[in-house]
Chain A
């Protein structure tokens, strides 16, 4: 990451946070129907705790999991950063009015475990933590993506929780985008 790319991302996050969260939601046409459902039903792990598991289309490895602790905080676990849209959709399905935006950085995680998301303005829901890959490190093998984009080792650098359905400010590009003069 360079200073420019770092700041550009910060600006995108700041000015288009809600839209980035919307972008993370899969369109209906992109949702893959899992071939395997764990035990045919979702497990409920005790009173006050909801558990949602997503499975990849080709294996029984959970692609993502959204769990709510008894204290109300939410843990979003995703195998790959590309599983985030499904996890965000699950948050909505569970009635949690928050969407997560993650910010990956190269290299393995220096500390294992989940990262606590910074709540954006207007978020009043429960605290959200995100865990990516194995103990916070995601490995994308050569050939795993088209053109080998993203190949290498990544970790979750930071994440932001934004309110579901919050509108954009409408000041995209300082309001000059596409204006005629």
Chain B
């Protein structure tokens, strides 16, 4: 499960964070929580990828709340070890490689967070709507409404720009 998903989860964080250490800590925190909460994972309810993304979404939301509070979110979240130079370079390369995705996320910044996440999971991560709904903890009907609203807003924005 770790190998199958670590890359895609890092992609989620590298599109949102510019600091390698933050990406490392948020990825670590997601997997620590996954290990601690594995008993709650039921494959009949959704894929492991959707379940892990659900955790990642919460980890990032908490990170944002604490950052907004002016506190050192990274230190409070996990306190994981500092990266060595090779790892910083590796993660910086990964952040660089996700520039297009990060730019897309900035473009979507005006969307409400739930709609932005809906677009990201389906269009960037290629989740099925069912998987994405599970990851975000909403019903499939609610998810489709959010996705539809997000796409309508983007279309309108695009037309207005033209």
Listed in ascending order, the chain A residues whose CB lies under 8 Å from chain B are 1-5, 7-9, 11-12, 16, 19-20, 22-23, 27, 29-30, 104-106, 145-147, 149-150, 154, 172-179, 181
Chain B residues at the A interface, C-beta cutoff of 8 Å:
2-8, 10, 24, 27-29, 31-32, 35-36, 38-39, 42-44, 47-49, 75-81, 83, 86-87, 90-91, 126-128, 131
Contact B80 A174 (CB under 8 A): yes
> Which residue on A lies nearest to B4, using beta carbons?
A150
B5 nearest in chain A by CB position: A149
**A149–B47 contact, CB under 8 A?**
yes
**Are B35 and A181 touching (Cβ within 8 A)?**
no
A12 to B33 alpha-carbon distance, docked (Å): 11
The reply to whether A4 and B32 contact each other, CB–CB distance below 8 Å, is no
- Is the CB–CB distance between A23 and B79 below 8 Å? no
Pair A4/B24 contact, Cβ less than 8 Å: yes
Q: List 17 A-B contacts (CB under 8 A).
A: A1-B3, A2-B87, A3-B90, A4-B87, A5-B6, A8-B6, A9-B2, A16-B35, A23-B35, A29-B42, A145-B4, A147-B128, A154-B3, A174-B78, A176-B76, A176-B78, A179-B76
Take A3-B86, A23-B35 as given contacts and tell me if A30 and B42 are in contact as well, using a CB distance cutoff of 8 Å.
Answer: yes
Distance in Å from the Cβ of A109 to the closest Cβ of chain B?
A: 15
Among A4, A105, A147, A178, which residue has its beta carbon within 8 angstroms of that of B90? A4
Neighbouring B residues of A175 by C-beta, 8 Å: 79
Distance of A22 Cα from B75 Cα, bound (Å): 28
Of A4, A23, A174, A179, which one neighbours B38 at CB under 8 angstroms?
Answer: A23
Question: Of the candidates A105, A147, A173, A179, which one forms a contact with B3 in the assembled complex, judged by CB atoms under 8 Å apart?
Answer: A105
Q: Is the CB of B75 within 8 A of A176?
A: yes
CB distance from B98 to the nearest CB of A (A): 14
B-chain residues with CB within 8 Å of residue A150 when the two chains form the complex: 3-4
Asked whether B80 lies within 8 Å of A12 as measured between CB atoms, the reply is: no
Q: In the complex the two chains form, what is the Cα distance from A19 to B36 in whole Å?
A: 7
Give the nearest-CB partner of B33 in chain A.
A177
Tell me how far the C-beta of B156 lies from the nearest C-beta in chain A, rounded to whole angstroms.
30
CB atoms of A146 and B24 under 8 A apart = no
Q: For residue A105, which residues in chain B have a CB less than 8 angstroms away from its CB? A: 3
